[in-house]
């Protein structure tokens, strides 16, 4: 409680009642939270200046204390009124700029020992609890002012590093699909109303993908047919015109790659032994 002992010693001759000691503690809490006393009464007086000490005549009335405070940054001005009701002190603090009010009720006997008003080291009880109640009850709700800092000592803002892309830190990210060969398929425009049912009109996919697998247009590379297969000698050049439908004389050198044309039976033919 740095500073409270010196404050109490400066006011010791005038601390005649337990509530005086309690209000002295409340004043010290306001000082530690960057408020300074201006004077007594509801209205400002002449030649007022901010001070960490209690103003003259602050405890002239044993049942009502009225003090005014101003923050060190001159942005807030408080009006403190402490009213004694039986053995309790009711604290009422008004922020004059925002008209915000905070209240706190303290039982004097819970925190002040009336038998040791002249001994600072024995007059206060439950100091941590008292400090917490004063701060949370009348200081924090009004917002304590910030201390003035030297701009030369303020830390420089750190440079923000741009976040990494999703591909760098998302282990569950699925890369976009790319078709074999790198060429995108010519998908129909889904907004085209005439594209609906187009696959039914063209099942072999002359315009689009189609719904029936055509083995001759499956995309697999087919080997060239040797017309001389099965003959003792090779046919002379030009014996088979280009593009002619020609069945080789003998069996081919092997099955062509891709699906067999027989995989697609004739329409209406249902024979498991075909």
Q: What pLDDT is stored for residue 21 in this prediction?
A: 94
Q: What is the mean pLDDT of residues 141-165?
A: 63
Q: What sections of 138-203 are H helices per DSSP?
A: 166-169, 198-201
Burial-class residue 131 by CB neighbours within 10 Å (0-12, 13-18, 19+). Answer: middle
User: Measured between alpha carbons, how far is 27 from 160 in angstroms, rounded to an integer?
Assistant: 43
Nearest to 58 by CA among 28, 103, 102, 88: 28
Q: What is the mean pLDDT of residues 167-176?
A: 67
Name the residue with higher pLDDT: 21 or 47: 21
To 5 degrees, how large is the angle CA 100–CA 71–CA 91?
45
Q: What pLDDT is stored for residue 261 in this prediction?
A: 53
Which of the 8 DSSP states describes residue 135? I
Which of the 8 DSSP states describes residue 139? I
Which of the 8 DSSP states describes residue 112? B
Q: What pLDDT is stored for residue 236 in this prediction?
A: 76
User: Measured between alpha carbons, how far is 61 from 17 in angstroms, rounded to an integer?
Assistant: 11
pTM (two decimals): 0.54
Q: What pLDDT is stored for residue 157 in this prediction?
A: 64
């Amino acid at each position: 409680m740095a500073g409270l002992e010196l404050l109490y010693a400066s006011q010791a001759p005038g601390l005649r009642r337990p509530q005086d000691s309690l209000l002295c503690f409340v004043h010290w809490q306001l000082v530690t939270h960057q408020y300074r006393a201006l004077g007594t009464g509801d209205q400002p007086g002449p030649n007022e200046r901010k001070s960490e000490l209690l103003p003259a005549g602050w405890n002239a009335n044993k049942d009502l204390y009225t003090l005014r405070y101003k923050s060190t940054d001159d942005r807030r001005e408080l009006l403190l009124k402490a009213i004694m009701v039986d053995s309790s002190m009711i604290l009422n603090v008004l922020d004059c700029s925002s008209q915000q009010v905070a209240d706190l009720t303290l039982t004097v006997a819970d925190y002040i020992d009336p038998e040791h008003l002249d001994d600072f080291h024995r007059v206060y009880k439950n100091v941590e609890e008292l400090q917490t109640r004063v701060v949370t009850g009348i200081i924090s709700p009004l917002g304590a002012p910030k201390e003035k800092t030297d701009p030369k000592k303020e830390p420089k803002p750190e440079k923000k590093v741009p976040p990494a892309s999703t591909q760098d830190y998302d282990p569950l990210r699925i890369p976009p699909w790319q078709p074999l060969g790198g060429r995108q398929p010519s998908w129909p425009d889904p907004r085209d109303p005439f594209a609906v049912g187009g696959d039914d009109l063209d099942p072999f996919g002359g315009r689009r993908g189609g719904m029936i697998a055509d083995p001759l247009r499956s995309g697999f590379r087919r080997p060239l047919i040797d017309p001389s297969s099965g003959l003792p000698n090779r046919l002379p050049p030009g014996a088979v015109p280009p593009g002619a439908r020609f069945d080789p004389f003998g069996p081919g050198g092997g099955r062509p790659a891709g699906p067999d044309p027989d995989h697609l039976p004739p329409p209406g033919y249902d024979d498991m032994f075909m």
